Amino acid sequence: MSNHDQSIEHIYGFDSAAMQRNKVLRNTYWLLAMSLVPTVLGAWLGVATGITQALSGGLGLIVFLGGAFGFIYAIEKTKNSATGVPVLLGFTFFMGLMLSRMIAMVLGFKNGPDLIMTAFGGTAGVFLVMANLSGIIKRDLSGMGQWLFVGALAIMVGGIVNVFVGSTAGMMALSVAAIGVFSAYMLYDLKRIVDGGETNYISATLALYLDIINVFQSLLALLGIFGGEQD
């Protein structure tokens, strides 16, 4: 093969790989945007009906963990089929429903709607920053994965313990830690897509959705603790 033929193969191979990465990123963004609709619907239904108000303490924890891990398992099993997208959207509806209890509590404050919009705006700001950084940073960030996983696991264990302890200080500490860890996870997951490490847009959407929902929930908890105004 001549040098000219090798050059053409290299160029077209590079272009093909870049096009594939862009396709995954584009599909991920579209599905991520779409996933917010069932989340909002689930949150609205939970607030309007009060269906999740009884899910406190151990019962709420069991329902949340059972539902979340069940959906995540189903999404990974169906991510290469036409069923994957509906299952993912079902999961985001479930997450909205689970989030509705906190949203209802925040709405009990005089400035509740403002706090929710502030948390939403803050989360969107974090995502935009991380999305821009993922395209700028050239360094391989794959080494971050194991440390972020340990951090997320520690936050989950701490959250389970705090369900039974009910410590406001504990919730504050966990919320601050979650914002840091899942913001970094957002960068890590976006960089994996940009670098071609994640080729399935459903898995990519699931990872980013979990990052976003954790940052939003943690910001909302902090805003409720520090900024909630009683009637």
pLDDT tens for each residue of 120-179: 999 999 999 999 998 888 888 888 888 999 999 999 999 888 888 878 888 999 999 999
What local confidence, expressed as pLDDT, does residue 230 receive? 75
Residue 10 above 80 pLDDT?
no
Average pLDDT, the chain: 87
pLDDT interval class at 220 (50, 70, 90): very high
C-alpha 101, offset from chain centre: 18
What local confidence, expressed as pLDDT, does residue 15 receive? 64
Name, in order, each residue with C-beta under 8 angstroms of 158's C-beta and a sequence gap of 6 or more.
170, 173, 174, 177
Averaged pLDDT, 39-61:
84
Contact between 202 and 79 (Cβ < 8 Å) = yes
The predicted-structure confidence for 57-98, as pLDDT tens digits, reads as follows 677 788 888 999 999 999 999 999 989 999 999 999 999 999
Q: State pTM to two decimals.
A: 0.89
For residues 60 and 55, give the distance between their C-alpha atoms in angstroms, rounded to a whole number.
Answer: 4
What local confidence, expressed as pLDDT, does residue 120 receive? 94
